A and B are shown apart, each in its own frame.
Chain A
Amino acid sequence: MNRSLLFVSVLVIATCGLVYELIASTLASYLLGDSVTQFSTVIGVYLFAMGVGSWLSRFVERGLAQRFVEVELAVALVGGGCAPLLFASFTFTDAFRVVLYGSVLVVGTLVGLEIPLLLRILKDQVRFKELVSQVLTFDYLGALAASLLFPLLLVPRLGLVRTSLLFGLLNAAVGLWSTWLLAPVLPAVERLRVKAVVVVAVLLVGFGYADRMTAWSEEGVYPDEVVFARSSPYQRIVMTRGARGFSLFLNGNLQFTSVDEYRYHEALVHPAFLRAGSVRRVLVLGGGDGLAVREALRYPEVERVTLVDLDAAITSLATGYVELAELNGDSLKDARVEVRNEDALRFLAEDTGLYDVVLVDFPDPNNFSLGKLYTTRFYGLLKKRLAPDGVAVIQSTSPLFARRSYWCVDTTLKAAGFWTEPYHALVPSFGEWGFILAAHTERPHVRELPQGLRFLSRELLPTLTLFPADMSPLPAEVNRLNNQVLVHYYEEEWRRWN
């Protein structure tokens, strides 16, 4: 029996074991957020399970070598399959935590069996002193390898699903290889080899489909590292950080990226402020990230900003998540700002105030609940809350990618009795983005742009209302609660780009 080769096996096994543990904890913090909790609970459970495995090893009396190979194959299958399994369980079931801790327990137990079994197999051939020292050395070396490879090479290059399957394959390879190494002490070598080949084949097939599995799962959605993730009653909130700054996603849809959000928010906010008769009372609907409020607070005349965002999880993120609070200049903590976590439609129906400027910054109308916020019903209520010389602005998706949807918003605003002025701006992380000004009657410019803007200027403004041929108006139906045509347009149009 070639001893050094066996020690290489130990190295591989140890690396694999740690990689599975890291995959489970990373995935848990991706999907559930709160990485400290996820890492410590997963690692805790894993170590405990390894203890269980070591303890269980005493019940293996005979056929040590065969059991060892079988354990290898089982680890290969369960550990290798753990990332796809966890993603799938998150996407398709409600039992993610059960699957998570269940698979951590199983993998941990199996890994816990490996070393004791190996030690016992080798105990007659190597002196105990040497055995312990060598096995443990390679074990810890493997751990070091894993903890360096994982963040530096594996996750960025392969992604979690492929990493998991790859290490499953390595584990299976150790199993297969051991059938030769341990051949002298193995009774039914052929059968074990067949099993090992089957396991390798299964994992290879999985590897071939890894891309497709990844696409299903959230991993495919986010190009950058996930630094915050949480599910609120209304949506899934994810923040990522990468080379281009950090980004906020709601239900997988990008809301902003810190490098170019100023383009979006300057374009959203200032054209409305320039035309409003007065700007004392400001209403922001949606936009719980506080970035639109930051722009509004540039005007010293602003006396009160009412921010209505359904989701308290977002508005507390805007004040509590340091980097976001820095980006929005702590706007939501400003004494002039009142935050209300309510449904915007209900707020408009029940509120009695008048507002000089209304900034409507909802996520795109990609489902029926959001579609309601783009209907004549909604705009009719909005009109009642808009001061006679007030101006509203509506973020209206991309006139390039969703051209009919964009013009549908314009048609709907007009049907609700508004004068409108459509315009657009380029926001690199979104593409060409569209906005629409709405007022009771046409409004002239009555105000200057504030100091310190990075995108808008007096000269640029008139060019924003020019629409090239590929974004020019298209006829569209009026979006009403009882037809929700916008959701259908939107879905159809974005499908073409995805």
Chain B
Amino acid sequence: MATVELSLTRRELIASVLGAAVAQSACKDTQPRSPVPGAIVDRAVHAGHALREGSLPLHTGPFRSVDVAIVGAGVAGLSAAWRLAAAGVQDVVVCELEAHEGGTARGGRNHVGAFPWGAHYLPTPLHDTGPVMRLLHELGAVEGVDARGRPHFAEHVLISEPEERLFFKGAWYEGLYLRAGASAEDLAQLARFESRMAAFAAARDARGRKAFAVPVAHSSDDGEWTALDLLTMAQWMAQAGFTSRRLQWLVDYACRDDFGTTPESTSAWAGVWYFAARQEGAGGRAEGYLSWPEGNARLVAQLARSVTPRQWLRSTLVHTLEPMDGGCRVHAVDTATGAPVGLMARQVVFCGPRFVAARVLAPWRKAPPAWLSAFTYAPWVVANLTVSAPPQGRGFPLAWDNVLHESRSLGYVVAGHQEERQARNGTCVLTWYYPFADTDPRAGRTRMLSAGYEEWEALVMADLLRPHPELAHTAERLEVMRWGHAMVRPTPGLLWGEARRAAQASVGAVHFAHTDLGGIALFEEANHFGVRAAESALADLGRKVESWL
């Protein structure tokens, strides 16, 4: 059996990706171990190349005519399909590059159970309004609504306690903020930070809009708060005198976890938004987080029920959109057979990210839009590790989210956490997350893709063996997904600058939707823009509908 030995370069790799602490303990571990069997499971990288080179053949007809062509079956595309179905539009086609829908909210399944490949939770909405609540009602996740319009959710879809634990110097602690050993000054700063965020949460503008709301489009555009978008979160922290290392760790973790960025590269508006958008201020707070073993793939499945088998064009790469009188031509290829596909759509809802839109829309291919460079994307790696026994460790017991304080990874989530009582020796799946937050996204992407299975296995295991040495024996299989453009980065100026506004405008019969139009990678943003684009298409089709937004 082959064994993994840590070469010098391997150590350097671990240090540069996960940090010195992980590399150090990986080196101490001189015992050779057999590598965990597994594979890299991402495939779509090739399609990206084909698009970039523009080498794909245009379809020459005949063109199948449809009322609406939706390109991309992520949350945005499926939300658009859902909106159209509700309006009774049936002549719809949904083109998706992958064989399965879901995009970055896709889920997987093996003999142990379901697990997420990307998005894994949804914070509970504060009010019983908007399309996300409509979807949650459809899903049967809502138990009732109180007199003040606040929804209550079915207990089994709210993330069960214990929600989070933190690994620090050999033991696990409850929660995300490291209270053990915090000084009086640390705790005072935490309290001050929390009250600043509660004040931001309570803030409303003259029109009664929340200063920081979900989706971002519902937030106030008043300069009093949008001015924060010109600072980085790190600058804001410094200006506000938040010098506590523990607090800085919490904010750094928040930025990496939600945006794939560091406080040094995150807009202060986005940083504050993370802490303030989910609460009302004045005590009102979201009930918690909704989650399922397969993560947000459960929501994807619910949305996808509105797409009929005939409407699907899976494994279909749309490479060119040619807007013309009376609609838009859609040129695509079947990625399985290489056969060209052509549609003549009266309306197109394009639900891929900006950098793809810029390559696909024929006019933009010649003259790239000015806003393009404002949109940058953090690469992420998600790994699912099947283990024969749930990991435990010293201190606080296994939680849903298990965070490693001294590592640059985000730790792991236990996919089966919401299930019934777990056996101490039962199999389960751990979902490990790593954002390339510390490097320039392009450099991160190169590093991520140049590392193959062997390197990623070494990285994931180096990270997880620190808290759980027993994984050397209990790890059964590892699958790794490398997301090249996982999350749009809310860098200073993106959220309230001109680029994002300009990018939202339709071009002829082509309407755009994707979470990146919100400047933040989030279910609610993708859903908002999907519904919004579908409603624009409906209006252009001459259908009068009441907006869900």
Which of A69-77, A173-181, A331-339, A478-486 lies on the face that meets chain B?
A478-486
Closest A-chain residue to B288, C-beta based? A482
Size of interface on B: residues with Cβ below 8 Å to A: 19
Which of B155, B161, B287, B426 lies at the interface centre, i.e. has the most chain A CB atoms within 10 A of its CB? B161
Which of A375, A376, A380, A481 lies at the interface centre, i.e. has the most chain B CB atoms within 10 A of its CB? A481
Instruction: Check if A484 sits within 8 Å of B161, measured CB to CB.
Output: yes
B147 within 8 A of A: no
B420 within 8 A of A: yes
A304 within 8 A of B: no
Instruction: Check if B158 sits within 8 Å of A369, measured CB to CB.
Output: no
Instruction: Check if A482 sits within 8 Å of B421, measured CB to CB.
Output: no
B424 partner, pick from A233, A346, A370, A483, beta carbons under 8 A: A233
A94 within 8 A of B: yes
Instruction: Check if A377 sits within 8 Å of B162, measured CB to CB.
Output: no
B81 within 8 A of A: no
Residues of A within 8 A of B108 (CB): none
Instruction: Check if A368 sits within 8 Å of B161, measured CB to CB.
Output: yes
B422 within 8 A of A: yes
Instruction: Check if A377 sits within 8 Å of B155, measured CB to CB.
Output: yes
Residues of B within 8 A of A367 (CB): 397
B192 within 8 A of A: no
Q: Kindly supply a per-residue 1/0 record for chain B positions 250-281, scoring 1 wherever the CB is within 8 Å of any chain A CB and 0 otherwise.
A: 00000000000000000000000000000000
Which of A349-374 touch B at CB < 8 Å?
A: 367-373
Instruction: Check if B423 sits within 8 Å of A233, measured CB to CB.
Output: yes
B68 within 8 A of A: no
Which of A480, A481, A482, A483 lies at the interface centre, i.e. has the most chain B CB atoms within 10 A of its CB? A482
If A94-B470, A482-B287 touch, does A234 touch B158 (CB 8 Å cutoff)? Answer: no
Closest A-chain residue to B423, C-beta based? A233
Residues of A within 8 A of B421 (CB): 234, 310, 343, 345, 369-370, 372-373
Instruction: Check if A481 sits within 8 Å of B420, measured CB to CB.
Output: no
Q: Kindly supply a per-residue 1/0 record for chain A positions 107-133, scoring 1 wherever the CB is within 8 Å of any chain B CB and 0 otherwise.
A: 000000000000000000000000000
If A377-B155, A482-B287, A482-B288 touch, does A372 touch B423 (CB 8 Å cutoff)? Answer: no
A372 partner, pick from B160, B163, B425, beta carbons under 8 A: B160
Distance between Cα atoms of A417 and B159 in the complex (Å): 23
Distance between Cα atoms of A483 and B425 in the complex (Å): 25
| Shortest distance from the beta carbon of B323 to any chain A beta carbon, whole Å | 48
A481 partner, pick from B155, B423, B424, B425, beta carbons under 8 A: B155
Distance between Cα atoms of A483 and B153 in the complex (Å): 13
Instruction: Check if B161 sits within 8 Å of A345, measured CB to CB.
Output: no
Residues of A within 8 A of B179 (CB): none
B156 within 8 A of A: yes
| Shortest distance from the beta carbon of A2 to any chain B beta carbon, whole Å | 52
If A368-B397, A369-B421, A377-B155 touch, does A481 touch B470 (CB 8 Å cutoff)? Answer: no
Which of A310, A367, A480 lies at the interface centre, i.e. has the most chain B CB atoms within 10 A of its CB? A480
| Shortest distance from the beta carbon of A287 to any chain B beta carbon, whole Å | 16
Closest A-chain residue to B289, C-beta based? A482
Size of interface on A: residues with Cβ below 8 Å to B: 25
Instruction: Check if A482 sits within 8 Å of B424, measured CB to CB.
Output: no
Distance between Cα atoms of A488 and B79 in the complex (Å): 41
Instruction: Check if B156 sits within 8 Å of A377, measured CB to CB.
Output: yes
Instruction: Check if B162 sits within 8 Å of A481, measured CB to CB.
Output: no
Residues of B within 8 A of A371 (CB): 161
Instruction: Check if A345 sits within 8 Å of B425, measured CB to CB.
Output: no
Q: Kindly supply a per-residue 1/0 record for chain B positions 391-416, scoring 1 wherever the CB is within 8 Å of any chain A CB and 0 otherwise.
A: 00000010000000000000000000
Which of B160, B162, B422, B423 lies at the interface centre, i.e. has the most chain A CB atoms within 10 A of its CB? B160
Residues of A within 8 A of B424 (CB): 233-235
Instruction: Check if B156 sits within 8 Å of A343, measured CB to CB.
Output: no
| Shortest distance from the beta carbon of B122 to any chain A beta carbon, whole Å | 14
Residues of A within 8 A of B422 (CB): 369
Closest B-chain residue to A369, C-beta based? B421
B420 partner, pick from A233, A345, A380, A483, beta carbons under 8 A: A345
Residues of A within 8 A of B426 (CB): 233
Instruction: Check if A234 sits within 8 Å of B423, measured CB to CB.
Output: yes
Distance between Cα atoms of A353 and B163 in the complex (Å): 33
Closest B-chain residue to A348, C-beta based? B420
| Shortest distance from the beta carbon of B416 to any chain A beta carbon, whole Å | 12
Residues of B within 8 A of A380 (CB): 155
Which of B275-306 touch A at CB < 8 Å?
A: 287-288
Which of B162, B424, B426 lies at the interface centre, i.e. has the most chain A CB atoms within 10 A of its CB? B424
Instruction: Check if B397 sits within 8 Å of A481, measured CB to CB.
Output: no
Instruction: Check if A482 sits within 8 Å of B159, measured CB to CB.
Output: yes
Which of B141-175 touch A at CB < 8 Å?
A: 155-156, 158-163
Q: Kindly supply a per-residue 1/0 record for chain B positions 174-188, scoring 1 wherever the CB is within 8 Å of any chain A CB and 0 otherwise.
A: 000000000000000
Instruction: Check if A480 sits within 8 Å of B397, measured CB to CB.
Output: no
| Shortest distance from the beta carbon of A216 to any chain B beta carbon, whole Å | 14
Closest B-chain residue to A485, C-beta based? B161
| Shortest distance from the beta carbon of B473 to any chain A beta carbon, whole Å | 9
If A94-B470, A233-B424 touch, does A484 touch B155 (CB 8 Å cutoff)? Answer: no
Distance between Cα atoms of A372 and B420 in the complex (Å): 8
Closest A-chain residue to B156, C-beta based? A377
| Shortest distance from the beta carbon of B161 to any chain A beta carbon, whole Å | 4
Distance between Cα atoms of A317 and B10 in the complex (Å): 52
Instruction: Check if B470 sits within 8 Å of A482, measured CB to CB.
Output: no
Distance between Cα atoms of A382 and B485 in the complex (Å): 47
| Shortest distance from the beta carbon of B155 to any chain A beta carbon, whole Å | 4
If A368-B162, A482-B160, A482-B287 touch, does A375 touch B155 (CB 8 Å cutoff)? Answer: yes
Residues of B within 8 A of A375 (CB): 155
Distance between Cα atoms of A235 and B421 in the complex (Å): 12
| Shortest distance from the beta carbon of A471 to any chain B beta carbon, whole Å | 27
B156 partner, pick from A233, A481, A483, A487, beta carbons under 8 A: A481
Distance between Cα atoms of A266 and B424 in the complex (Å): 32
| Shortest distance from the beta carbon of A483 to any chain B beta carbon, whole Å | 6
| Shortest distance from the beta carbon of B223 to any chain A beta carbon, whole Å | 38
Residues of A within 8 A of B159 (CB): 482
B161 partner, pick from A233, A376, A482, beta carbons under 8 A: A482
If A94-B470, A367-B397, A368-B397 touch, does A482 touch B423 (CB 8 Å cutoff)? Answer: no
Residues of A within 8 A of B162 (CB): 368, 484
Distance between Cα atoms of A483 and B156 in the complex (Å): 12
Residues of B within 8 A of A235 (CB): 424
Interface CB pairs A-B, < 8 A, 20 = A233-B425, A234-B423, A345-B420, A368-B397, A372-B160, A372-B420, A375-B155, A377-B155, A377-B156, A380-B155, A481-B155, A481-B160, A481-B161, A482-B155, A482-B158, A482-B159, A482-B160, A482-B161, A482-B163, A482-B288
Give me 20 other A-B pairs in contact (C-beta within 8 A), A373-B421, A484-B161 excluded: A94-B470, A233-B425, A234-B423, A310-B421, A343-B421, A345-B421, A368-B160, A369-B422, A372-B160, A372-B420, A375-B155, A377-B155, A377-B156, A480-B155, A480-B158, A481-B158, A482-B158, A482-B159, A482-B160, A482-B287
Interfacial residues, chain A to chain B (CB-CB below 8 A): 94, 233-235, 310, 343, 345-346, 367-373, 375-377, 380, 480-484, 487
User: 10 closest Cβ contacts across the A-B interface?
Assistant: A484-B161, A377-B155, A482-B158, A343-B420, A233-B423, A481-B160, A346-B420, A369-B421, A233-B425, A345-B420
